[in-house]
Structure formats: structure tokens, C-alpha cells
Amino acid sequence: MQFFRIASILLVVIFASHLAGHLFLIPYLQLTHNLTGPMPSNETEEKLLSLMNHYHRHVGGSSISMMDIQNGLSLCYSIFFLWAGVLNILISKGLVRNKRLLGQISVVNAVVLAIGAWISFEYFFWLPFASFLITGILFAVAAFRLQREL
């Protein structure tokens, strides 16, 4: 049960840290200037950033840029972790005595987070991968321990 709660709380912490990172890396705010250097740091990065922000395509009846897509997906990523964390916290409180169902929910969480880890490994860098992997492992341990308690 403790691994389930730790994993659930960690999901909410990941939400908060990812959202903070998203907000601090918005190029026009340049809040990370002291950490990453000037944004953008050369002519190529300046051109790429300009294209991401200002080159719009018509998709599904709307005009969007790559930065719009990037920001939308980044915020959805944050909301996913908040939703999963809060939902699991509420589930853990309501199912204290139903270890079998809590174990099954842990398996579902572990599988979904393992798929997220694989996608992150393929397409992102180490931090999103670690976010999915660590929480997935914690839910897998929770499932194993809950099954042993039956």
C-alpha cells in the first residue's frame, strides 16, 4: 500500500515540476537565461525558434505553429500526471481494504507507465523517461506486494 501511495504522490510531484519547467522555459520570458545562456544562443537557434513560433500551418480548420503544438502537448503531459496522481490518491483512500482491486489498478498503472517509458525512451530525453519508469516500477512493486498480502 505504501508503494502505491508513494507512486501516486510522485505523479503529482512530476506534474508540478514539469509545469514549472514548462513555464520557466518559455522563450519570451527567458527565465532560464542564467542557467542555459542566452536564448537562442546562435543564429541557427534563433531561426529555428522564429520558425517554430511564426510559421503557421492550417490543420483541422485552425492555423497553428509547431510551438503551439509543443506547448499544448507539454501542458497535456503535465495534466496527465496530475490526473493520474490525484485519481490514484483518491482510489488508495477508498480501497484501503480491497487489496485485490488495488493490486489490479496497480498493474494497469504499471503497464500504462511502462508504455509511457518506452515512448519517452524512443522520442525524448532521460527526464521524461525516468518519470515514467520510476513511477511504473513503484506501481509494479505495489501490485506485487498487494498480491502477496491476499
Q: How far apart (Å, rounded) are the C-alpha atoms in residues 12 and 129? A: 16
* Model confidence pLDDT, tens digit, residues 16-67: 998 888 777 665 554 445 445 566 778 998 888 888 888 999 988 899 988 8
Q: How far apart (Å, rounded) are the C-alpha atoms in residues 50 and 54? A: 6
* Model confidence pLDDT, tens digit, residues 86-117: 999 999 998 888 999 999 999 999 999 999 99
Half-sphere exposure of 52 (CA within 13 A, CB side): 15
> Is 124's pLDDT higher than 70?
yes
Q: How far apart (Å, rounded) are the C-alpha atoms in residues 49 and 28? A: 10
The answer to whether 85 and 15 are in contact (CB under 8 A) is yes
